[in-house]
Amino acid sequence: MSGILHRSKSEIDSSSSGVKQRGDAVRKEMDALVNIPEENGSTPTKGGPVSPSPLRIFSQAKKKMNEIFIELDAQVKESTAFLKRISQGVVPVNLETVDHVEKQYSKIKGITEMVARDHMKVVFFGRTSNGKSTVINAMLRDKILPSGIGHTTSCFIQVEGTDEPEGYAQTEGSDEKFGVSSVANLSHALNQGHLGEESLVRLHWPKNKCFLLREDVVLVDSPGIDVTPDTDIWIDKYCLDADVFVLVANSESTLMQAEKNFFHKVSTRLSKPNVFILNNRWDASANEPEFMDEVRRQHLDRNLEFLTKELGVISNQQALERVYFVSAKEVLMTAQKKQQNAIVNPGAFPDGYLMRMQDFDTFERKFQECLSKSAVRTKFEHHTQQGRKIAHEMRNLLEEVYEQSNLTRALQEEDRLRQESLFHLKTTHFESMSVDFKEKIDALSRKAGQEIIAGFKEELARLQTTVNLYTKNWPMTVEQMHLYKLGLYEVFERNLLRNFEARCSVPINNAVDMLEQEMLTRFGGLLPENSRDVKLAPLHRRQRFNVKVHLSIPQMCIGFTEDLTFHFSLGWQRIARLLLSRNEMRRLATFGFLPMSRNVEPNASVSPGASKSTDSGIGSLPPSNSSLPATDGTTKDLDVVELAAILSKCGIGTGAVAFMVWRSIGWKILVGAAASYGILYGAERLAWHFSTRRRVFKHQFVDFVKPQLASLVHPSATSGAHQVQEELEFTFTELIRLANESTTELSERIAALRKEVKTLDEVTSQAKVMNNKSKWLESQLDSFWDAYIASKDVEDVVPDILNNHLPEQQK
Ligand SMILES: Nc1nc2c(ncn2[C@@H]2O[C@H](COP(=O)(O)OP(=O)(O)OP(=O)(O)O)[C@@H](O)[C@H]2O)c(=O)[nH]1
C-alpha cells in the first residue's frame, strides 16, 4: 500500500500548517504539496527532475508499432513483386505461396489502420451519484461532464480527444455534431434525444485542453449501475475492449452487491480485468474524524477482499495499489482554482485534504501505468504476434527461395562447366574426325576405282564364257539371225552387269557401309544422346549402292557384221598371213589380194580349230590407233618397189620351191600332196556346219566388243570412284551439319546457362537481402515484444522507454 495511506493526519496537517501566506512563493510551495500533476501529465518531484507520464509508453509503443508495420508493408510489397518476378523464371515458386503473401497486404493495411485508431480506454462504473462524472472531470482537470445530485448520466458518454478547437458531441449512429462548448450545452444536448441507457454519446473534446485526451486516453462514463439489473449489454458494448475499469464507490456507504455483481460479470467475460476502486467523497469522512481510520480500514479490507478473493484478479500486494480514498470534488475544485490562477488554501477544505489529494495523485499515476501497460498489451500483443507471423512466413519463404536458387545456381554452374568441357571435347574431336574421314573417303574412293578396274579386267578375261551362256538355237533365216543377235546382246549385257555387280558392287558396298557405319558411330558420339537416334535415322542407308556402268551392248554393236563365209585353214590367204607381216597383209588387202575386214583381226583364227583367245589383259588391249584404214577414209598408196618385192617373194619363191620339190620328190608325191590337200579341204568344208558357225560368230562378237568394253574401264572406274565419294560425302556432310548443329546448340545452351547462373546470382543475393530484412523485422517485433509486452513490470519499462534506453536494435 502507498505510504501516503499510512501517513497520519498529524503529519499531513503539520506539513501543511506552514502554508498560510499569500503570494507566488506560497503558491509554489502549495503546488508542490498539493502535488497536482501538471497539465502535460508530468509530475513534479521534490527537488528532482520532472517524471514523464507513463502514458507515454503507449504512445511510444504505438509509434514504434506503426513504424514496424510500415516497414513490414514495404517488405511484403517488395517480396511479392520479387517472388512474382522470379516465379516466371529460373526458380520455381509456388504461385499459391505468392498469392498467400499478397494477401498479407490487406492484413498489414488493416493492422496499420487499427494501430492508428488504437487508444487506451477506461470505463467508470458505480452507483448513481457516487461521483463518476466528477472523477472524470477531476482527471480531465475541467468540468466537462454534467454532474449533480440525482440521476444525471442517463447513457454512456465517451470522452475522447479531437484536434478541432471546439468540443462537440455525436450520438450513436449519427454523424451529426452537437456543439458542446460548455457543460450546460452538453446537458441540454443529452436531454434533447430519447437515449436509452445502453446508448452512446461520443463527446469530442479539444486535445489541447486535456493531457489525457492528448495521450489517446478515452474515458467512458456510465449510468448508475443500480439503474438497471441487466448490465450484460453494457459489458458487451463497452467493456470488452476496455483496458481499465474504475469502480467509483461512495465512501459514505459500503460497497454494494450491485457493484460487485457487475464486476463479477465482467470478470467472466474478460480474464483478469484491471479494476481500480476509488472510495470517493472521502472528504465527508472529515466530519467524523474519530471514525475515519476505522472506516478507512473497513473499506480497505472489504475492497481488498473483493479484488483478491471474490474477483480473484489480483494479488494482495497488487491490490494495495488499486484502492484509493479520494475526493474528486476537491481535486476538480483545486484544478479549477489553478486554472483561474487562484490561490488554493488547503485550510478551506475539510481535514485530510492533502492526504486525499496525494492519494488521488497516486491513483492517477498507478492508473496511468496500468492503463498504458495494459493497453499496450491488449492493443499491440495481437498486432505483434500477427506481424511476427507475417515476417516469419516471409523469412521462411525467402530462405526457401534463397536455398533453392543457391542450389539451382550450383547445379547450373556445374552443368555449365560440364557442357563447356563437352563443347571443347566435341570441337576437338570434330576437327580431328573431319580430317580423318576426309582421308578415309578419298582412300575408299580410290580403292573403289581400283576395284572397278580389277572387276572389269576379270570380266574382259571371261567374255567368251559370258557369251557362251547364250544358248539359243542357231538361226536359219536372216530375220531369225537378227533376233538371235538381239537376244545375244540382251543376255550378254545382263550377264555382264550381274557378274560385275557380284565382283565390284558387293565389296564396294560393304566397304562403304563399314565406313558409313564408322562415321555414324563416331559423329553420333558428338550428338546429344536423347536426339541421336532420331537425327541419325535418315542417314542409315536404305538402298544398296550400285556402281553405275554406262553399258549398252546393242548400241555398241551397231557396227558389228559377222563374217560366216568358209575360209580353208590351209588356203593361200591363210598361208600368206602366216608368212607375211601385218603391214604387208594390209597392203595386199588394199589391193584386193586379201579380203579386208574391220572386225576381224588379221591374225585371228576363223577356222574351227582356231579359237585362240586374243585376250592379253587390259594392259595389252589393242591400241586404238591399230593399223586400220585411216579414219578419213583414205588409204596410203602402196610403194611399187615394196609390191614387187612381195610378189616376187610370193610368186618366185613359190615357183622355186615347187620346182625344187618336183625335181627332188617327183610328180607322184606332188599329186599325192595335192590329193591330201584336197581331202583336207573337203573334210574342213564338211565340218563347216551350224555349231561351228555359231562358235565363230561368238568369237567374232567377242573380238568386236572387247576393245569397246576395254575403253569403258577407266571412265567406269572414275565414275564409280566419284559415286563412292559422292555417297560418302553426302553422309559426311550431313554428319558435319548435325555435329555443327549440335555444337551450336551446345554453345547456345552454355550461353543460356551462363545467363541463368547470372540471374540466379542476382536472385540469390536479392533473396538474401530480403531475407535479412525479414529477419530484422522479426527481431524488431521480438524487441518490441520484450520491451512492451513481455511480463516486465511497468516500472522497469517506463524508465527504459521514456529515457530512450531502448534496446539497440529498436533505435
Ligand atoms: N462531497 C463530495 N461530493 C461529491 C464528490 N464527488 C461528487 N460529489 C457530488 O456528488 C454528486 C453526484 O456526482 P456525479 O458526479 O454526478 O455522480 P455520478 O456518479 O456521475 O451520478 P450519475 O451520473 O447520476 O450516475 C454531485 O453533486 C457531486 O458534486 C466528492 O468527492 N465529495
Share of the chain above pLDDT 90, in %: 33
Amino acid at 750: I
Whether 283 lines ligand 1, by a CB cut-off of 6 Å, is yes
Is the pLDDT score of 33 beyond 70? no
Among protein residues, the one whose CA lies closest to atom 25 of ligand 1: 128
Whether 684 lines ligand 1, by a CB cut-off of 6 Å, is no
The pLDDT score that the predictor gives to residue 495 is 92
Quote the ligand 1 centre to 261 CA distance (angstroms). 22
Arithmetic mean of pLDDT, 467-486: 89
Whether 127 lines ligand 1, by a CB cut-off of 6 Å, is no
State which ligand 1 atom lies nearest to the alpha carbon of 284: 1
Cα 268–chain centre separation: 55
Whether 131 lines ligand 1, by a CB cut-off of 6 Å, is yes
Confidence of residue 599 (pLDDT cuts 50, 70, 90): very low
Whether 138 lines ligand 1, by a CB cut-off of 6 Å, is no
**Of 21 and 449, which is predicted with more confidence?**
449
Quote the ligand 1 centre to 344 CA distance (angstroms). 21
Domain extents in the chain: 131-280+282-326, 414-556+704-759, 572-687
The pLDDT score that the predictor gives to residue 526 is 86
Whether 148 lines ligand 1, by a CB cut-off of 6 Å, is yes
Among protein residues, the one whose CA lies closest to atom 28 of ligand 1: 148
Confidence of residue 419 (pLDDT cuts 50, 70, 90): very high
The pLDDT score that the predictor gives to residue 781 is 92
Q: Which of 379-388, 500-509, 536-545 has the lowest mean pLDDT?
A: 536-545
Cα 311–chain centre separation: 61
Q: Residue 153: name the closest of 130, 133, 123, 181 by CA.
A: 133
Quote the ligand 1 centre to 167 CA distance (angstroms). 23
- Fold assignment, 131-280+282-326: Rossmann fold (3.40.50)
Asked if residue 304 lies in contact with residue 109, where contact means CB atoms within 8 angstroms, the answer is no
Q: Which of 129, 135, 349 has the most ligand 1 atoms within 8 A of CB, as the residue to mutate?
A: 129
Show the cell assigned to 217. Answer: 486516453
Q: Which of 329, 330, 356 has the most ligand 1 atoms within 8 A of CB, as the residue to mutate?
A: 329
Q: Residue 533: name the closest of 541, 542, 546, 524 by CA.
A: 524
Is the pLDDT score of 750 beyond 90? yes
The pLDDT score that the predictor gives to residue 149 is 66
Is the pLDDT score of 133 beyond 90? yes
DSSP result, 647-658: HIIIIIHHHHHH
Quote the ligand 1 centre to 41 CA distance (angstroms). 24
Quote the ligand 1 centre to 761 CA distance (angstroms). 73
Among protein residues, the one whose CA lies closest to atom 21 of ligand 1: 129
Average pLDDT score over the chain:
79
Quote the ligand 1 centre to 301 CA distance (angstroms). 24
Is the pLDDT score of 547 beyond 60? yes
The pLDDT score that the predictor gives to residue 150 is 64
Among protein residues, the one whose CA lies closest to atom 24 of ligand 1: 151
Among protein residues, the one whose CA lies closest to atom 2 of ligand 1: 281
The pLDDT score that the predictor gives to residue 649 is 53
Asked if residue 605 lies in contact with residue 684, where contact means CB atoms within 8 angstroms, the answer is no
Whether 279 lines ligand 1, by a CB cut-off of 6 Å, is no
Quote the ligand 1 centre to 612 CA distance (angstroms). 161
Is the pLDDT score of 580 beyond 60? yes
Among protein residues, the one whose CA lies closest to atom 23 of ligand 1: 153
The complex scores an ipTM of: 0.99
**Of 1 and 238, which is predicted with more confidence?**
238
Q: Which helix (H) or strand (E) holds 158?
A: strand 156-162
Whether 129 lines ligand 1, by a CB cut-off of 6 Å, is yes
Helices (H), 166-288: 183-192, 211-214, 232-234, 257-269
Among protein residues, the one whose CA lies closest to atom 12 of ligand 1: 129
The whole-model pTM stands at 0.61
Quote the ligand 1 centre to 619 CA distance (angstroms). 148
Q: How do beta strands 168-171 and 200-206 pair?
A: antiparallel
Return the residue matching grid coordinates 492503463: 371
